[in-house]
Amino acid sequence: MRIIMHGATNRGSSNFGDFIYGEVFYRFIKNIDNRIECTFYQPSEYFIKYVEGYVQKKICIRKSDLILYLPGGYFGEPHKTSLKGSIIHFLRFMPLGLFGTVLNKKIAIIGVGAGPINSMIFKLPISIIGKHSETISVRDKESYEALKTLKIKNITLAFDPILGVDIKALGKNTSQIEKIKSKVGNKKILFVHYNHSRNALSQFATAVNLFVDKNPQYIVVVGSDCIMNIENELFNEFRKKIKCDCIHYKYDSPHEFISFLDICDMVLTCKLHAGVVAGQLGKSVICIADHPEKTSRYYEHIGEKERCISLYESNSDQIYNLLEKYKDKDIIISDEIKENVKEAIVELKNAGIKKTVMLTGDSK
């Protein structure tokens, strides 16, 4: 059997959340039957390097048995994008599925975020791919409704698949983490994660100044969750804006990043999955969302809606007040949510993969 997996795994991607999805699903498939040939579609070098046991094999779409769309927020329009951005988004994610439908290939779509879907650049291809797919699961009710408006059927609401993963088991301790622990000593760690956003950087710096002045028990550690050419430049900008010392965590290994989040006490982020994983590890998280449409849905689902506000409607005083409010209140994901997600994802993955093995008669 030959499976092509696709998600936000191409175009040089090193994004933490998308990597975790890719590795978890790759491991799941190989655990079903190690003889299954499984490859990422146009994978970045980062995925090839860090997915344990992965060997890149080129599988022709014509000879594939299943196209598997991995979890991600790409079945919709990017936040406040241009026409050029929309075309790039279309070319990155839609052609594989469209070719698959033309060739009548089996398609499974697992744990995606969908919507908004207003432009025909996205309406038509998502409708075509969705209607052809054997199984579709989405990670929130808004995604469910967005796909239903396109008259796509066979949709299951399963929420974010990461919640069903033993995330701590994927972590890996390193010398960088040990050095940070040594510098921090007995103090607490506030991880500041503005990533690529200068808007978030500026707002976070002012809020952090206020917070650390009132809470000297915290040490500030700054870092990203993807590899960026401008990371050092942004860190130097941030360091000039804040009054306290800060430590620079340099992202490389996604497994190390999990273990790093596990030593933090509070996370201030503008992205989704740094906060999702930190919350799974029982940390306090404040999210000032760079993509508020998709990110706020997650916090509402876990009953922590007030921890997440839009980056485009926030200010430093609001962020400071959230830090004060939640500094001693860790996120607790209920066992019920974890088990529901785990059961739904196992069932859906089996439907997309094991069913195809049976239909083809062999997994070789």
Six token digits for residue 277 = 């994983």
Pick the closest to residue 69 from 117, 120, 133 (CA basis): 133
CB of 105 closer than 8 Å to CB of 64: yes
Angle at which helices 83-93 and 120-132 cross, to 10°: 20
Q: Which amino acid is at 203?
A: Q
CB of 26 closer than 8 Å to CB of 5: yes
Q: What is residue 72's three-state secondary structure? A: strand
User: Each residue's pLDDT tens digit in the chain (364 positions)?
Assistant: 899 999 999 989 999 999 999 998 898 888 888 889 999 999 999 999 999 889 888 889 999 999 999 998 888 877 667 788 888 889 999 999 999 999 999 999 988 989 888 888 899 999 999 999 988 888 888 999 999 999 998 888 877 888 888 899 999 999 999 999 999 999 999 999 999 999 999 999 999 999 999 999 999 999 999 999 999 999 999 999 999 999 999 999 999 999 999 999 999 999 999 999 999 999 999 999 998 988 998 999 899 999 999 999 999 999 999 999 999 999 998 888 877 776 656 655 555 565 554 443 344 4
Q: What is the pTM of this model?
A: 0.91
Pick the closest to residue 90 from 78, 103, 104 (CA basis): 78
Q: Which amino acid is at 98?
A: L
Torsion of CA 326, 169, 46, 135, to 10 degrees: -90
CB of 12 closer than 8 Å to CB of 44: yes
